[in-house]
Structure 1
């Protein structure tokens, strides 16, 4: 059992971009799906952006996302906004994003009624990650019977956040991913265009170093840790 979830429960992951779900929670996703938990991923935005001297098309990014989700055992997956005004200017469409996560998609809180929501943790380095955090936090607020509110709300961080964030949050929820680490690595290979050489936070070596450091809290080999925004049983 992981996080008290049992087969038949649903989990919604909301990464800002395709690849953030794998970087921040890939091992946990693989562990959950192997235990019969239904995991869905709603990536918020995708558009061509030159980085490190190259730019992948939106279609290439979509194919990478689909391949990684297949590896991780993800059930439903979608990219909400691609190649449009909303994708490129999230801050101007923050209220639209809140509504999208609440109930404006087949992979929304109201549609899926998930037991757990994973979102970007506060204090992220990237501006779009900060905005998606704000939108998810608002969408997951308790609201009685007006809309679905997950029992578990956790925040994941990417490797750049561990390396460069000014004031990273505490991540007291730790999940052992020793047995699913190989699946995470295979999913990361789907995003090889987004990975970097050794010494960069996005290198496999540094990602494994982060996971190994998190695992020290459990006395295991690999782990992922999460900020806790709601743990209700």
Structure 2
């Protein structure tokens, strides 16, 4: 059974806003999906900026941007996301976001729909630094730069910056302090529905990108806190 308290995660209140930056569609679900569902259910605005989706060959299939866009919208609906957008749709498969660091920072700072300027969030949720995927590393660096502290009247500064990791990032050369933990027991069903929306991305059996594997990770995280399911985050900034 869940021990989830009535308190909202991170001390947020109904009406507050959270901006989530995802390198690709499904990262917002695999990493912090249960937490996003819990926030949304508490009346907190959840906004997802997905950086890119590209046409590309995949193991045993092909990544079609239109299909991925539909999956993303279905998953975000399952999580209760307020607004979501994919900024860069790459129809050729040639986009290399690792070479666009300045553009990435500008995107996170000032995208028209989902950005620090558009949302003015209390919390910014980003890929953790320890992820090994080159796109995740590029997005982390850009988001971390975009979240730098500004003086009053300048660019928005979220008072919380938290890092999430992808399921494959459990295999990592970098050790980070996963000190922020959220009980998602009451919302794991929402996360499961969102994961199932990604039919082209999830894998069968007990592979890293399988529903069973994600469930095992979240159960282990929750079990260490006497919860059924949980998610953990790296605290890059917590300020009150």
TM range, normalised to the smaller chain? Answer: over 0.9
- For the 8 Å contact 2:23–2:52, the answer to whether it is kept is yes
- The residue aligned with 1:153 is 161
Moved more, 82-91 or 120-129: 82-91
- For the 8 Å contact 1:124–1:168, the answer to whether it is kept is no
Q: Deviations over 1:179-212 (max 9, x none)?
A: 0000100000100210112221111111111111
- Once residues 104 and 56 of structure 1 are traced to their aligned partners in structure 2, the CA distance between those partners, rounded to angstroms, is 25
What is the deviation of 1:84? Answer: 6.3
- For the 8 Å contact 1:86–1:92, the answer to whether it is kept is no
Moved more, 88-97 or 33-42: 88-97
- Once residues 226 and 176 of structure 1 are traced to their aligned partners in structure 2, the CA distance between those partners, rounded to angstroms, is 12
Moved more, 36-45 or 213-222: 213-222
Residues matched between the structures, number: 232
List structure 1 segments (4+ residues) > 4 angstroms apart after TM superposition.
84-87
Structure 1, unmatched stretches of 5+, are none
Q: Give the SS at the match of 1:128.
A: helix
Q: Higher helix proportion, which one?
A: 1
What is the deviation of 1:67? Answer: 0.5
Structure 2, unmatched stretches of 5+, are 1-7
Q: Give the SS at the match of 1:3.
A: helix
**TM-score, length-scaled by structure 2:** 0.93
Q: Give the SS at the match of 1:29.
A: helix
RMSD: 1.4
Equivalence map 1:49-68=2 (5 Å)? 49-68=56-75
Q: Higher strand proportion, which one?
A: 2
What is the deviation of 1:56? Answer: 2.6
**TM-score, length-scaled by structure 1:** 0.96
